[in-house]
Amino acid sequence: MGLFGFGKKADKNVPVLTVDEVRARLLTLNRETAPYQIIDGASQNVDLIAEWKIVDAKWYELFAKASINKVFRIYMKFDMDKHQVRGKDEEFTVEWRAGVPALSIAASKFQGQMTSVEFGAAYAFTEELKPGVVYNYRFSTNEIKKPIQEAVTACGWGYKGVAFGKL
């Protein structure tokens, strides 16, 4: 494990897969129930991007109710020579307008490596007219990072978090 858990070394006992196999393995992490998605990153000059599903209709209501005001992304590039996936974290500020997210990158932006957790709950009267939990949430950057790092190392590759310099 790298400094502060931002990296993970390749498992020497695992055969090294091709870059296409690593990409395919990472894309299999996408699932309906996950609060994040991994998408092609060609438009940002990277190989893949992992991000919260904050603009997904199924998820933005939960993010809005939880007053989540940050969008977390990981930009990933494959280093075929070193058999390493290099990742750089980025965080943007989100403004909510009538329950719909609007990304705002002018006010606040972070690049590098980070770990954060946002959590909370709301209590109100339930359908049974008794006080109870209306919603309960927890969003941790490790919900995105850990599965990515595990998938990468299962391919015989390493994961390196980049804080400064070129991705």
Looking at residue 155, its pLDDT comes to: 96
Q: Choose the weakest-confidence range: 62-76, 102-116, 146-160.
A: 102-116
For the chain, percent of residues with pLDDT exceeding 70:
58
From residue 105, give the alpha-carbon distance in Å to each of 39, 52, 87, 92. 20, 16, 20, 6
What was the pLDDT predicted at 99?
Answer: 52
The pLDDT of residue 159:
95
> Is the model's pLDDT at 124 over the cut of 70?
no
Residue 10 neighbours by CB under 8 Å, 6+ apart: 16, 83, 84, 153, 156, 157, 158
Picking from 33-42, 135-144, 148-157, which range would have the lowest pLDDT averaged per residue?
Answer: 135-144
pTM summary value? 0.71
